[in-house]
Structure 1
Amino acid sequence: MTADDRFAEDFQEMREGRPLGTRNEIITGPVSDWATDFSHLEPEWAADPYPLQDDLRQRCPIAHTERFGGAWLPTRYEDVAAIAYDTERFSSRAIIASNFRPPRELAPMGAVPPISSDPPFHHGARKLLLPAFTKSVVARLETATRAFCHSLIDAFEGRDVVDAAHDYAQHIPMRVIADMLGFPPEDGPRFRDFVENALEGVNLPPEERIARMEDLFDYLLTQIHDHIDNPRDDLTTYLINAELNGHKLDPSHVSGTMALLLIAGIDTTWSAIGASLWHLAKTPDDRERLVAEPELLPAAMEELLRAYAPVTMARLVKEDMHWNGVDMKADDWILLSFPAANRDAAQFDRASEVVIDREVNRHAAFGLGIHRCVGSHLARMELRVALEVWLERIPAFTLDDPSAVTWAAGQVRGPRTLPVRIG
């Protein structure tokens, strides 16, 4: 069997008969009490989750909801960290809480390895990716990233108001990830659709979600075929040829990792860049200080990542148990809110404030435990370059209409509409 046949057969199996898991209807609509009926999909959570998290941390540090078929939301740093490090009692086979749970048979690899993988499979799957995301490899991408940021701002000429999320932030990780995977850069708009379907469409009927995910995997299969026929020096060819424990990667491993890099690698960084620009647009003191003291940017970046951490990651409870005062059931969702952990006053001084010269900042924006973001060096480079270029070219900017800013609902939170007045 050729490599091309191997991938085609695997994708056909995905379409025809793999089990979908246990279905659970999501209950939508207003929240009655965030301690007993929370939903991270509701508009008020997307708009400003921090007061809600602060309230829960004080009166009910581990919130519960019957939505999503049963889910828990720890809001204290110590609880989030404890679960993130506990791979014996919590599974990563599903990382996006939705209206059905994938079958346990997906473990230990999961659908999008290594982030969906449990030990011991996780170790080897993660190790495969590390060489592509070292500081030295990432450093080689900086010149092209900087030039691309300049080209985006060049296109603002003659405009007084631009959308810093739609016209700038989203395009940077789309271009970087496309280049790393060897995908056509003009496919960027399709990547945005894939991201929104995967991360913001969790309330759709499972059949519709699966149909939309098939569009993503059809696209990935096309790219895999092209790379088999025309090998080149990129991540896709690397994954096709990679071996784990002496064997070529299963096609679902290759495609799942590509899907992970495409979706998570874009949305998280897009959100971090957008949230940082939103903060600077509404906080002239911080903006002016960074323009005057660019050497502060590394510390400011870490503080912006702490204060506006974009990612909440899901886990599944493995077995019924009593944990830190609550009774968890097998296959209950756990939402690991790294944003909430990063605002815990027990862990951070002046936790609710943005202190751009904060010196000690061991934040959890990139996660905790074995699943800490493998692409953190890449994300930091993209964020730093995006802010350096923007502040160099557009040192003065403000929110054009604060009420027009919109935020993504779901487990990756960042501005989706961010109109700013420049000049």
Structure 2
Amino acid sequence: MFKKLRNKFLFLNLVIISVMMMISFISIYLITYNTVRRDIDLELHKISEFNRKPKENPKELTSRDPMINLNKVEPHPERSISFTLTTDNNDIITSSFSILNMDEEFYETAKDMALSQNFDKGNFKLDDTHWAFMKIPYIGGYRIVFLDITSRQGILTNLIYTFLVAALIMLIVIFFISKFFANKSIKPIKEAFDKQKQFIGDASHELKTPLSVISTNVDVLLSNKEDSISNQSKWLYYIKSEVERMSKLTNDLLYLAQIDYSDVKMIFSDFNLSEAVENVILTMEALIFENGISLNYELEPNLVIRGNAEQVKQVIMILLDNALKYTNPKGTVDIVLKKTFNNIFLSVTNTGKGIPGESIDRIFDRFYRIDKSRSRSIGGYGLGLPIAKAIIEQHKGTISVKSVLNENTTFSIMLPISSKH
């Protein structure tokens, strides 16, 4: 699917570039062609005016002039090769004007090719030479001015060949460049698609487990229809527990979807982060000591940030909850909150097994858990850290993790300090 998408993108890109190149090349060629034609027309008019005055003619020749081969005669360096023929009403050449002597057959052929065209101006090819002509009515016949335009025609022809070669080279180069950027553009889409696919699979799996438990407990209840509710209450408690787990899971999923796709902006205000962290610690302090864990914290007072206080509290709660779950017996949890330059630094460190190196990069992925065998016993679906990361990023901050196996794990948060403080 992604290969087809890349190829479509590549094909569309090449088509657009090819059309733009063609338009550009045609425009340049037409401009050059019109410029050359104007120069030719201007020179034909100058030659016509020049040859109209006998005293200014470089040489006047008639049909009795000796024949001189055009290819063996060097033209004047400051003038183009040209000649003028005058005809009567029977299209017979009456006189000729030229800086070169040419044979009668050449004159006759040139005259016939000019008169055969129904236009006053035109061009033709004769003996591998390109000629432009202009017909002017003159005493019942015509005065026909001829100009050698072989060099100008060569310029236009070379321009076409240059365009074709340049276009071919450019298309080859653009093809590989477009392929590189197409692959680069498709990569994040593919990664997002793979994550979405995995997300749906994981969510389905997590929902399937409590649904299976609920279904089993309902079957047990139905098999004991005659028994009292008090005797079957444990099955009801199991059902209630799984419903609560499903509710938490669906709420977390909806919350992540809202963060990812909602256009509704959160309401931000300045609040005291030091007090917010202290309040969260107080709500969890009893639970921490109940589990035999030593809690140490160092909070710099009156640190104010701009954001959503409830969401930031949720992040702190998630980090402390993780620390509580994964700290080893008689372990330690350390919390540090301080100001560093224009940011506020918050870290939560707990002793324990730590996080393996291959899991560090995936720890913030949705539904990812390091020890899946313990996940059900300690609770959670692997959505806490992704939620924490999403909230911190909405607050223009960063969250990271460092871990030393069998020693400790530290989650660090950097948040911008409020500009008013």
User: Structure 1-normalised TM-score?
Assistant: 0.22
Q: Which has the higher contact order (CA 8 A, sep 6+)?
A: 1
User: Structure 2-normalised TM-score?
Assistant: 0.22
- Specify which structure has the higher proportion of strand: 2
